[in-house]
Chains A and B, each alone.
Chain A
Amino acid sequence: DGGITQSPKYLFRKEGQNVTLSCEQNLNHDAMYWYRQDPGQGLRLIYYSQIVNDFQKGDIAEGYSVSREKKESFPLTVTSAQKNPTAFYLCASKIGGANYGYTFGSGTRLTVV
């Protein structure tokens, strides 16, 4: 079955370390997105990519980096510059065009220890 796979489900990071969250989709979707969710809050956009080898900053990109070398993959690196990285991270994808819904992964919960 097609879908989005995020790994790992839980991730612990020491302060000052960079960590990379994986997002893979086999839906042949063009666009991919990374969102962050804090407790009791809605989702906020970190980065998005509409095509391979191209990506744009979202609303809260500081302290994060991404790459889009393959259509299927959109990894997110949380760098040491992100001051408050503990959150639930969600990856989403969408086929091109306005009249389609989005598919979300099951998320990665990152905790800084």
Chain B
Amino acid sequence: DAKTTQPNSMESNEEEPVHLPCNHSTISGTDYIHWYRQLPSQGPEYVIHGLTSNVNNRMASLAIAEDRKSSTLILHRATLRDAAVYYCILRGPYNQGGKLIFGQGTELSVKP
């Protein structure tokens, strides 16, 4: 299974942009890159996902490197509610049910 590597923790100031990096050097050509975030004692919340092209939605942007070996989740203006553990996940092969392969995640703290 392809794995992802993220920093254990990051800090940001409120209303500033945040760039959360993720390395996935063993990604296969059919793996989608998913990002989820999780608050304590809650289920993960979907943030964004992509395959090759950069993606934008109301929550965030996803920048994918041309070789797909790394990606960056961009929160354009961090708020206190964005403090969470962010998981960069590769969506596995469909013959394994398309399972999500979770790593340790990055704990993001946001300072007022």
- Measuring CB to CB, which residues of chain A are less than 8 angstroms from any residue of chain B? 4, 6, 31, 33, 35, 41-45, 48-50, 56, 58, 88, 90, 92, 94, 98-99, 101-107, 109
Q: Are B99 and A45 in contact (CB under 8 A)?
A: yes
Beyond the given pairs A33-B99, A43-B102, A104-B44, 10 more chain A to chain B contacts, judged by CB atoms under 8 angstroms and listed by A's residue number, are: A33-B100, A50-B97, A58-B97, A58-B99, A98-B91, A98-B94, A101-B34, A101-B46, A102-B100, A106-B43
By size class, the interface of chain B is: 20 to 34
Q: Nearest chain-B residue to A91 (Cβ)? A: B43
Q: Are B42 and A103 in contact (CB under 8 A)?
A: no
B99 to chain A, nearest CB (A): 5
- Given A41-B104, A42-B105, A98-B91, A107 contacting B43 (CB threshold 8 A): yes
Q: Nearest chain-B residue to A47 (Cβ)? A: B97
Whether a CB of chain A sits under 8 angstroms from the CB of B49 is yes
Residue with the highest number of chain A CB atoms closer than 10 Å, among B34, B51, B97, B105: B97
Whether a CB of chain A sits under 8 angstroms from the CB of B7 is no
- Given A41-B104, A42-B104, A44-B102, A33 contacting B32 (CB threshold 8 A): no
Q: Are A88 and B44 in contact (CB under 8 A)?
A: no
Whether a CB of chain A sits under 8 angstroms from the CB of B17 is no
Q: Nearest chain-A residue to B35 (Cβ)? A: A101
**Number of residue pairs spanning A and B whose beta carbons lie under 8 angstroms apart:** 63
Which residues on B sit within 8 Å (CB–CB) of A35?
102
B21 to chain A, nearest CB (A): 17
CB < 8 Å: which of B44, B91, B96 contacts A43? B44
B74 to chain A, nearest CB (A): 17
Which residues on A sit within 8 Å (CB–CB) of B51?
99
B79 to chain A, nearest CB (A): 21
Distance of A24 Cα from B52 Cα, bound (Å): 33
Q: Are A104 and B43 in contact (CB under 8 A)?
A: yes
